[in-house]
Each structure stands twice: as structure tokens, then as C-alpha cells.
Amino acid sequence: MSSNKRVDLKIIIIGSIGVGKTSLLYRYVNNRFIEEYRMTLGANILTKQIEVDNMSVKLQIWDTGGQERFKALVSSYSKGSDGCVLTFDVTDQDSFYALEGWRKEILGNMGCDDYPFVVLGNKIDLTEDREVTSDEAEAWCTARNIPYFEVSAKQDINVDHAFENITRNALSQDSEGKDCYLTNSISLGDNKMSERQNCC
């Protein structure tokens, strides 16, 4: 692929409340860790320009609220997305068990079986509190042919590698004919969506 071509990708981060989706996003985009917990209301959007396999890629990453009341919004957030980062907390077994529901929700919205996923097991720095083993998580992912990464937003372990993986998988999918839902905005602070880019 030509290095002078830029590709825009929309990636969504999904998972239960408190698994560290926002911390992972800020670690990846801004290379910093958010110490205090701040619940995401609806969605938070950040962008990052990267080079992958000699191609310039602009990632627009949607961090979605994990509360049950925001679950109904997942269908609208996933429209036009190119890949999904499924996230759980290795110290919270319920968040791991919830992955299947989130996965089915996204597949139902996208209407295809080859939609790119990656699974992140976050908070591996909290070894003494761990409830989900590496073997258990890897077995779940292997059965569904999904790449798995154990990460720590706090200690910056494997975060870049995981996002590069979902980017490569998204690039490998044929995105022709897909509606574009990228926006110029990185915040949903008001109720007005910015004018959509004419990228598709």
C-alpha cells in the first residue's frame, strides 16, 4: 500500500463499567494514566494519527459508557465502525462473563461474522486481586478466533501493541460500501454532532 494514502478508521471500546476503558484510551492517545475514576457518560471520542505498515492511519476511538443505561446506545455508536476493542477487568470475573453479551450485541448491529475484535484483559498490575486467569481468557478468545492481550493502562503494558493489532485487522477488512460515521468532533459535550467528514 502507498505510504501517501491516509485511511480513517472508527474503533469502539466496549466493556462493563469500571474495567478501565477510558484509562486505556488516554494511555494510548495521550500516554498518560488517569488515577481518579471518572465514569463515561454516553461516549468520549479521541483521535490519533499513526503509521501502520507504511500507511498513515487516523484512528477515531469511541470510548463508550459501560453502564446498563448506555447499552442501548451501543447500536448507534457501532454504526460504521471498523473494529471493536472488547475490554474486561482481570480482577472482576463478572466483567469477563459479560464479554459474550457485548460481542453478540456488536455482531448483531454490524450484521456480519468477520467483524474485527480484539480482547483486552486490563489491570494485570493488580496480581493479588486477579479473578480471571490468562488461560481462561485465552481459551475464550481462541474459541472465537479473537486476539487476546493482557494489558495495564497504569503501567503501560501492551496497550500500543493491542491497538496496533485491531488497526491491522480493521485495515485487512474490505470497507468499501460502508457508511461513514466519523465526525470532526472529539467531544460530545453538547447535543449537536459536528459535520461529518466526506470520507466515504
pLDDT in tens, 130-163: 999 999 999 999 999 999 999 999 999 999 999 9
Give the per-residue pLDDT at 42.
55
Q: How far is CA 91 from CA 4, 128, 130, 180, in A?
A: 43, 9, 4, 36
Give the per-residue pLDDT at 153.
95
Give the per-residue pLDDT at 109.
84
* All domains of the chain in start order, with CATH: 6-172 (3.40.50.300)
Report how far residue 173's alpha carbon sits from residue 160's, in angstroms, rounded to the nearest whole number: 21
3-state SS assignment for residue 103:
helix
Burial class (CB in 10 A: 0-12, 13-18, 19+), 191: exposed
Which regions of the chain are under pLDDT 70?
Answer: 1-4, 35-43, 65-75, 174-200
Give the per-residue pLDDT at 200.
39
Report how far residue 116's alpha carbon sits from residue 118's, in angstroms, rounded to the nearest whole number: 7
Report how far residue 144's alpha carbon sits from residue 46's, in angstroms, rounded to the nearest whole number: 28
Instruction: State pLDDT tens for residues 17-39.
Output: 889 998 999 999 999 987 665 55
Q: Under a CB-based contact definition with an 8 Å cutoff, are residues 6 and 50 in contact?
A: no
The pTM for the full model equals 0.80
